[in-house]
Amino acid sequence: MKVNNLVEADETTSTSNIEVASLGWGEGGKKEIIKLVNVHKIYRQGEIEFYALKGVSLSILEGELISIMGPSGSGKSTLLNVMGLLDRPTKGKVLIEGIDVSRLSDRELAYIRNIKIGFVFQFFNLINRLTIYENIELPLLVRNLSKKEKRMLVQSAILRAGGDLSWLAKRPNQLSGGQQQRVAIARALVTSPKIILADEPTGNLDRYSGKLVMEEFLKLNSMGQTIVIVTHDPEIANCTKKIVYIKNGEIVKVDTNDINFSKCIINTQ
């Protein structure tokens, strides 16, 4: 995943030519916000083919907090990339809020990515030569907003992510790892996306910082934010309401998880 993918949408792009399928509805009348139908992803190197995803079908409802677990090389990050429109499926359909994105142009994908999806990365992907304010502002640069409007959105985002306004004038290397990850969450929130996709968001943090980051995700989800977290850590997965297990590119099990806070990282030693 690259930061550049966050800012390549263009205000001149519209959804007028984008096919919208009928929206699915799940339990409790909640809207399907992401739907994958028989998704395959094949990487080719010469005559060698590597199947990263094999016939994956998955539905994620609005307001859900979901984790994706699996061993290294199982396809979980590829699955997140496909959900986030950073990678195209070789076969199958991906629908974001009823929009079939599988055959859209790069420009159309960038437009949908910018307005509907926020990304949080394991290694933060902050730019050290920019201030914290400028890093959070990046996804807004393609939008026709005034400086005042951008400032209000950036300030709101850093506070919603559990950060502090005093950080905005600093540079990333002046903050701790946990603080930098909260800045990354703020950058994901600044466009008010429908979906937050987080790839190992605590994987590069100490335990204490990981707890703080998960607390922020739980607060955001309690306010209705849809969040999908890729993790290898059971203590992170136990903080989520549904756990999707993937192995060798296939979903092998989906557990509905009544959050057991005794096993969630927030309450473990």
Domain chopping of the chain, boundaries? 3-17+63-85+110-267
Position 265 confidence tier, pLDDT thresholds 50, 70, 90: confident
49: pLDDT strictly greater than 80: yes
Residue 260, pLDDT score: 60
pTM of the model: 0.83
61: pLDDT strictly greater than 80: yes
* DSSP annotation string for 201-232: TTTTS-HHHHHHHHHHHHHHHHTT-EEEEEES
Give whole-number Cα distances, 193 to 58, 115, 189, 201, 248, in Å: 20, 6, 6, 18, 30
Distance of CA 36 to the CA centre of its chain: 15
Per-residue pLDDT averaged across 22-34, rounded? 69
pLDDT tens digits for 126-181? 999 999 999 999 999 988 899 999 999 999 999 999 899 999 999 999 999 999 99
Position 12 confidence tier, pLDDT thresholds 50, 70, 90: very low
Mean pLDDT of the residues in the chain: 87
Per-residue pLDDT averaged across 243-253, rounded? 95
Per-residue pLDDT averaged across 20-39, rounded? 74
pLDDT tens digits for 205-221? 888 888 888 998 999 99
| 32-45 and 48-61 strand pairing | antiparallel
Position 25 confidence tier, pLDDT thresholds 50, 70, 90: low
Q: Could you tell me which CATH class the domain 3-17+63-85+110-267 is placed in?
A: alpha beta
